[in-house]
Chains A and B, each alone.
Chain A
Amino acid sequence: MFKSLPLLVRVFAYILLVALAASVVLPFLWMVSTALKTTGEINQSPFSLPATPNFWVFVDAWVQGDFTRLYLNSLGITVVAVAGLLAFCSAAGYALAHFEFRAKEALFIYFLAGMMIPPQVIMVPSFKLMATLGLINTYAAVILTYFAWVPFAIFFFRAYFSGIPKELAEAARVEGVSEWNIFIRIMLPLAKPAMATVGIVYFIWIFNDFMWPLIYLNDQSLRTVTLGMMAFQGSHAALMNLKVAALIIATGPPLVIFLIFRRQIQNGLIEGALKA
């Protein structure tokens, strides 16, 4: 199809593609090259390549920043929060798509309204709530907050389930299958692509979140990757190579995981939200 376009259009299209790709790749190359240089080399020129690349810088940054601990914390929080969200929101999305009841539209709008509330505004009341529950400095405080991030997931699941014909469930009901089994055995397996998409999108959001861990997880041993990385930047002001190495450590692993699962996200989106 691309080949059928006029040459000029094709050339222009490639220029656009290469430009955007370069804007993404170059900063990463700069980061890697900066991390491998000595501080002296960094000061001399931002472009030069490291004379003798110092790969130990990543080990130093990893150890000094205690990234093993940070990654375990981040992964634990993220996995629990995402699993919970997938369970609640697929159920809610299914209910909103397939059941008729009073105030259905109003409830949907109620769920969406949360997207428009600036998170900074609920910071203080939320902190008070968690303090009252005695949850400050526990993982529960952040996880419960993430459990409330339902709007996008419900929006997505509702759209996805709307694309599944209601006759499917009707047929099962005629055969006497219980509502619970219809949901678990029929609907959820059909929603796998949506699960993958919502799961990965939320995984990225929660893994990268900065604000809630910042206010709830103050104990150093509870810190997440983003939090620990920020602290590292402040305490190593002039050691640019170490600072950048920590940036790479904080972004590298999620990036690799994402690249592996990219197909699933794309497929999920194609089969998911846009059917509606």
Chain B
Amino acid sequence: MSKFRSLRMLALAGVALLIAQGGAMAQTVTLNLWSELSAPPESTVLNKAVEMFNAANPGIVVKHTSFENTAYETALRTAFAGGTPPDIAEVNAGSNAFQYAQSGQLMDLTDFVKPIEQKLRPGLETMYQYDGKSYGVLWGLKVGNVLYYNPVMLKEQGIDPASLSTWEGFMAASQKFLDAGITPIAFGDRDQWTGNHYFNHILHGILTKDEYDHIGLQTLDPSITSALKWSDPKVVHAWEVYKAVADAGYFTPGYLSDDNDTAAGLFFAGRAPFYSTGSWGVGMAKANGAQNVALTLFPPVADSPEPTAIVTNSLLFTIPTTTKDAEAAKKFLEFLTSEPVQKLYVEENFDLSPYQYDSSGWTMDPMLRQIAGLLDNAQNASPFLDMIEDVKCMQENVNEANVAILTGDLSPQEAGDMHQKCVTDLRAERGW
């Protein structure tokens, strides 16, 4: 090699290096990430994950903007409608995500998600698959049908916590408390979703997974039909069971006027022995410094076909079609599902992971471990009903109806008939 040639090579290499560097600088892409995780610990965990990702990927800067929960839906919808969505968007898995997918706003991520699916707990795909395509990756997993109880109060009344494994046992324990002058179940239905969850868990206990999934999804997916009708006695029975709890006087006296926070406060303060909410109750107990809290699966009704089944929900990270850089966004999504991030999520967040990593070495709250055990033990998992049903039918006939049943404005049969009418009309209107 001549001197000249080697000099020329050196010069070229230098130029190439400069170009490469300049290129790298030009390639630094800022991705806007929007989420409704605005309150600690959830926001803290996501912000940490973003920091970790930015440090490990010099070419990409993810900028997280968190929204207050109630404002998020408005903000995201308007941003989509205005054609200015973020580059990565967190949405509620299920029907909420499907709406955006259906209107062509989300990227089809089917091929990208395939390898990630390998490590996912089975049965959770329904949360992000719409019309055979996948639209995002799950972040965190919440279990819905959990019953929290106060072990000290149970002991005082001589009630064996094991008796709470059946609906009859739960009701008998409630009656015992009532007889002792203590209103047993902390419940506040002002914002309607709490009553929705009670009905959801009771109904879920009565139906098989297929029946449950189909009766909801028939309003979202033209290809799915349901043999079961909302007006059938089997379904109406769920409303009757729910109404019976109220009629027996088991709900705390503010059950129609208190919000869920107030009801939770009654339980955490030791004023009522029972409170039903999802796995997030573990974190709430910690934040409120509550001492005497234990949990069990929300008791399934008698003759439940799948008494160990679980109701879950999760958040979905999606990529809007207008994203600045799809490959960079995918990189971030994949990072969110990686073991260190999921470990961080579980350890700091009092929550579970949708992915099957070996968590035996993770620091977890004992109650959370117990919920993880319920999950491992479950025959199957289904999403919440409000994730798999059309928002209008759901809002009117579960959210509003569960209040109307408590006030006596609707009988269980009327609620079922109205619900069926909404579903039938909706399918007819869309020509399904």
Contacts and interface: CB of A to CB of B under 8 A. Distances in A.
Interface of A: 39-40, 43, 123-124, 127-128, 131-132, 136-137, 214-215, 218-220, 227, 230-231, 233-240
A128 B265 contact: no
11 contacts: A40-B269, A127-B75, A128-B81, A136-B79, A231-B38, A234-B69, A237-B264, A237-B265, A238-B268, A238-B269, A239-B288
B68 A43 contact: no
B269 A39 contact: yes
B82 A132 contact: yes
A233 B71 CA distance: 16
Contacts of B29: none
A215 B82 contact: no
Given A214-B71, A218-B75, A220-B38, A238 B82 contact: no
B66 interface: yes
Given A132-B82, A238-B290, A43 B269 contact: yes
A117 B288 CA distance: 42
A127 B290 contact: no
Contacts of A132: 82, 84
Interface string B64-86: 01111111001100110110100
Nearest to A43: B269
A127 B261 contact: no
Contact of B39 (A227, A231, A238): A231
Interface of B: 38-40, 43, 65-71, 74-75, 78-79, 81-82, 84, 260-262, 264-265, 268-271, 284, 287-290
Closest 4 CB pairs of A and B: A238-B265, A237-B261, A238-B288, A238-B268
Nearest to B260: A237
Main secondary structure of the interface of A (DSSP, over half): helix
Nearest to B72: A218
Nearest to A219: B65
A239 B84 CA distance: 39
Contact of B71 (A39, A215, A240): A215
Given A218-B67, A237-B262, A237-B287, 20 more contacts: A39-B269, A43-B269, A43-B271, A123-B74, A124-B78, A128-B82, A131-B78, A137-B65, A214-B70, A215-B74, A218-B38, A218-B71, A218-B75, A220-B43, A231-B39, A234-B69, A236-B287, A238-B261, A238-B264, A238-B265
B287 A127 contact: no
B291 to A, nearest CB: 12
Given A128-B78, A131-B84, A234-B39, A218 B261 contact: no
Nearest to A237: B261
A220 B67 CA distance: 8
Nearest to B264: A237
Nearest to B270: A43
Nearest to B85: A131
Contact of B65 (A43, A218, A227): A218
Contacts of B264: 237-238
Max chain A Cβ within 10 angstroms of own Cβ: one of B66, B68, B81, B261? B68
A214 B68 contact: yes
Contacts of A231: 38-39, 68
Contacts of A236: 287-288
Given A127-B78, A215-B75, A240 B68 contact: no
Nearest to B78: A127
B288 A237 contact: yes
A275 to B, nearest CB: 43
Nearest to B43: A220
Given A43-B269, A132-B82, A233 B74 contact: no
Contacts of B287: 235-237
A224 to B, nearest CB: 11
A137 B75 CA distance: 11
Contacts of A237: 260-262, 264-265, 268, 284, 287-288
Nearest to A126: B78
B72 to A, nearest CB: 8
A70 to B, nearest CB: 13
A55 B290 CA distance: 22
Contacts of B261: 233-234, 237-238
Contacts of B260: 237
B252 to A, nearest CB: 13
A218 B405 CA distance: 37
A231 B38 CA distance: 9
Contacts of B67: 218
